[in-house]
């Protein structure tokens, strides 16, 4: 926890601090977490908290592992994200997430080929999602997806963007976002963020920032 708080302090002092979202904390460590000056997303990581959570005004979102009882999660927080494995049961799991009015969470590590399927299903069903794990780079590499790829797929409703490997195909400015021939205003990007890709989770704030700086996309 001390290391995480120090990393957070450094991030909040950075010129790109506007990119910071919620502080992600496991339920088992929540009692140790002081006021970090913004909302918290809690990851349910203990059996005692898989179906309930003590009231805490800091909590805006809850993230739950696969296999949780979704009916018990309704109303647990303003936003509840259910981790959905990218396996053969993907459609069935997302159908259940949709039925209970929850949100989805996907792990992108290892460049899973089914991420395109996940994004398409969420878009078709109107499910808001967050992406985590493996999004350290801005643009896709041989082994990992890039967070600009995922953003482009969400903004332009085109999963082919996940295959893009050319950094110059993207342009990010205060006025909007571009991927090849497609362009979106800041308002359109904000709409995609609220209705599709809510956020990405990363164990490093500085790696993504440094990549955007190297591409000339930061500071805005």
Q: For 57-94, write each residue's pLDDT tens digit.
A: 899 999 999 988 899 889 888 999 999 999 999 999 99
pLDDT confidence of residue 49: 54
pLDDT in tens, 17-28: 999 999 999 988
Segments in 143-197 forming alpha helices (H) = 147-155, 186-195
How far apart are the C-alpha atoms of 164 and 204, rounded to whole Å?
Answer: 23
Kindly indicate the confidence band of residue 119, based on its pLDDT and cuts at 50, 70 and 90: very high
Mean pLDDT, the chain, whole residue set: 92
Spell out the domain ranges in the chain.
2-164+188-209
Q: Which CATH number fits domain 2-164+188-209: 3.20.20, 2.40.50, 1.20.58, 2.60.40?
A: 3.20.20
pLDDT confidence of residue 55: 74
**Greater model confidence, 28 or 102:** 102
Closest CA to 182 of 200, 111, 209, 192: 192
User: Do the Cβ atoms of 106 and 82 come closer than 8 Å?
Assistant: no
- Percent with pLDDT over 70 in the chain: 95
pLDDT confidence of residue 51: 44
pLDDT confidence of residue 57: 87
How far apart are the C-alpha atoms of 216 and 172, rounded to whole Å?
Answer: 9
Rounded to an integer, the average pLDDT of 84-113 is: 91
Ordered strands of the 170-173 beta sheet:
170-173, 176-179, 182-185
- Percent with pLDDT over 90 in the chain: 79
Rounded to an integer, the average pLDDT of 137-154 is: 94
pLDDT in tens, 164-211: 999 999 999 999 999 999 999 999 999 999 999 999 988 889 999 999
pLDDT confidence of residue 56: 81
Distances (CA, A) of 133 to 57, 67, 104: 27, 19, 14
How far apart are the C-alpha atoms of 65 and 47, rounded to whole Å?
Answer: 11
Most confident of 51-60, 99-108, 131-140: 99-108
pLDDT at 54 over 60: yes
Global pTM? Answer: 0.93
């Amino acid at each position: 926890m001390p290391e995480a708080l120090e990393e957070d302090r450094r991030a909040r002092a950075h010129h790109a601090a506007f990119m910071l979202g919620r502080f992600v904390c496991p339920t088992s460590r929540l009692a140790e977490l002081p006021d970090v000056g913004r909302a918290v997303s809690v990851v349910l990581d203990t059996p005692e908290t898989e179906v309930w959570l003590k009231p805490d005004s800091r909590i805006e979102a809850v993230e739950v592992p696969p296999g949780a009882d979704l009916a018990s999660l309704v109303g647990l927080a303003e936003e509840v994200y259910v981790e959905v494995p990218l396996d053969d049961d993907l459609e069935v799991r997302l159908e259940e997430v949709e039925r209970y009015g929850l949100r989805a969470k996907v792990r992108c590590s290892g460049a899973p080929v089914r991420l395109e399927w996940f994004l398409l299903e969420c878009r078709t069903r109107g499910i808001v999602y967050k992406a985590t794990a493996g999004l350290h780079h801005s643009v896709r590499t041989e082994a990992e997806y890039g967070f600009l790829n995922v953003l482009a797929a969400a903004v332009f409703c085109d999963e082919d963007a996940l295959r893009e490997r050319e950094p110059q195909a993207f342009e990010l400015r205060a006025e909007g976002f571009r991927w090849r021939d497609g362009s979106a205003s800041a308002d359109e990007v904000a709409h995609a963020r609220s209705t599709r890709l809510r956020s990405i989770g990363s164990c490093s704030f500085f790696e993504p920032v440094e990549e955007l700086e190297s591409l000339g996309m930061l500071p805005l």
